[in-house]
Amino acid sequence: MRSPAAAWSGLTLRVRLLLIGLAGLATALAVGGVVLYGALTLASYRALDEAGRATATQVADLVRSGRLPDPIPVTGNQLVQVVDARGRVVSASGSGDRLTALLLPGEVRTAAGGTPVVVPGSRNGSNQPLRVVAVRARAAGSAAPPDTVIVAQEFAEIEHSQRILGTTLLITYPLLLVVLAGIAWRVMGAALQPVEALRSAAHRISGSGQDERLPVPASRDEIHALALTLNSMLDRLAAGRERQRSFVADAAHELRSPLASMQAQLDVSRHLGEDVRDPEIAEDLRAEVSRMATLVEDLLALARLDADPAQAPEPERVEVAALVDEVLATRRRRRVPVEVDPDALRLVVLVRPGEVCRALGNLVDNAVRHAGSAVQVSARAEATGVVVEVSDDGHGIAEADRERVFERFTRLDEARDRDAGGSGLGLAIARELVARNGGGIALATSRAGGLSAQVRLPRG
């Protein structure tokens, strides 16, 4: 047998909303019905009692003035008695008993105290119960105990009205709930139609594999905002999927080249009967293995960059000189010298040292690879942060290509030499690392006519 929670969760959202709404409405109607029934009943009895007390007050005035008639004139179906302190009937209306008081002594005290008393109609020869109020009255100048004016009224009509009201509420409220449930079902169906359209479109998109988007409703409500958010998410997923597909294809292509070169050298050596331990062949193979290792390392770096950036360490305050020293310490064997401006590098930045060193290292490697005679590293302070500049005197990059070179696996025609060129990932890795540290990279023409890579970092 299913638990109530499981049964509830198995219902559709439309049904659950309807049940919650009906439960709230039924509770509100029940409370409102009880309040209405009680208020009308209280008002009816209060009006009846006020009419009785008004009559009792008028008769009491006659007692005080000594002008009490017999019988006592009354209107409507009221029954009036005036009894003395010993319970004897002094005077009565035409329909009242002149021999026996309507109320017992204890009931007289209760009614005279302001609380209505209900007595059976049989005390006055009637088959309807009576509601009785009483008022004390004493004749002017009399020392005797006060008399009591008793006014009794039938309330069968009030009870009849109560029954009609109760029956009406019991019949009307369930019918009202049914009608409102039908209306709510249609209204909620119309309100949830955009959600169903989104669900159907999402199912179709996930099943087709096509680059589609969810329909955006015209209404400017939460569903409209949800559709826009989901479409934005689909855009990011599509971009990520395309980027991953391109990345895998480029990586496979780049890895195929050194492997094919190594395979060709081994086949030629085997065909010529040469020993693979020959220094020249071993050196060629070592270069290809080194290039492939560099490529694999860059691919792993990009994979880490694409992972959750929240796992990165906290930034630190560090001098630019310390970062550059660490970069150059691991690059002692360089094709051209690297000149450093020690005074400018004393500036302090707020970065993750490991990531920025990797980015600067890639820029230095790129500059050394393409420089004619020297590479220069300097820094300067600006209003927006610290700019570290790595410049060379090489052939430079055309302005139209300066943004394209930051794309993954991008090489310009003059950098196609696989032995001299890199993996095509260095600049892409450098830009992403610097961006993770709140900075940016821009390329420009150096003073020597080559390329200047300007790294903007937050000031520490």
DSSP labels, 327-364: HHHT--S-SS-EEE-TTGGG-EEEE-HHHHHHHHHHHH
Residue 49 reports pLDDT greater than 70: yes
The pLDDT confidence band at residue 203, using thresholds 50, 70 and 90, is: confident
- Residue pLDDT, tens place only, 70-99: 889 888 789 999 999 888 999 999 888 888
More confident residue, 416 or 108: 108
More confident residue, 203 or 307: 203
Question: Where does CATH 1.10.287.130 sit in the chain?
Answer: 222-306
Residue 16 reports pLDDT greater than 60: yes
The pLDDT confidence band at residue 247, using thresholds 50, 70 and 90, is: low
Residue 346 reports pLDDT greater than 90: no
Confirm whether pTM is higher than 0.85.
Answer: no
The one-letter amino acid at 302: L
Question: Where does CATH 3.30.450.20 sit in the chain?
Answer: 1-208
The pLDDT confidence band at residue 167, using thresholds 50, 70 and 90, is: very high
Per DSSP bridges, beta strands 375-382 and 385-392 are antiparallel
CATH number of 1-208: 3.30.450.20
* Residue 252, C-beta contacts closer than 8 angstroms, at least 6 positions apart: none
Residue 279 reports pLDDT greater than 70: no
What are the C-alpha distances in Å from 277 to residues 99, 268, 273, 285?
Answer: 144, 14, 12, 10
% residues pLDDT > 70 (the chain): 81
201's tokens: 């479109």
100-114, 241-255, 321-335, 347-361 — which is least confidently predicted? 241-255
**C-alpha 399 chain-centroid distance:** 46
Q: Per DSSP, what are the bridge partners of residue 453?
A: 390, 443
Q: What angle do CA 98, 102, 107 make, to 5 degrees?
A: 145
Record: fold of 222-306: Helix Hairpins (1.10.287)
Continuous segment of H or E residues that includes residue 9: helix 4-9
Please report the pLDDT score of residue 101 as a whole number.
92
**C-alpha 354 chain-centroid distance:** 38
Please report the pLDDT score of residue 416 as a whole number.
39
CB 443 within 8 A of CB 356: no
The pLDDT confidence band at residue 457, using thresholds 50, 70 and 90, is: very high
Residue 157 reports pLDDT greater than 80: yes
Residue 285 reports pLDDT greater than 50: yes
Of residues 105, 121, 122, the one with CA closest to residue 113: 105
Please report the pLDDT score of residue 233 as a whole number.
84
The pLDDT confidence band at residue 281, using thresholds 50, 70 and 90, is: low
Q: Tokens 């030629």 correspond to what residue?
A: 268
Q: Other CB atoms closer than 10 Å to residue 45's CB: what's the count?
A: 15
CB 378 within 8 A of CB 429: no
Record: fold of 314-457: Heat Shock Protein 90 (3.30.565)
Backbone φ and ψ for 206, nearest 5 degrees, come out as -65, -25
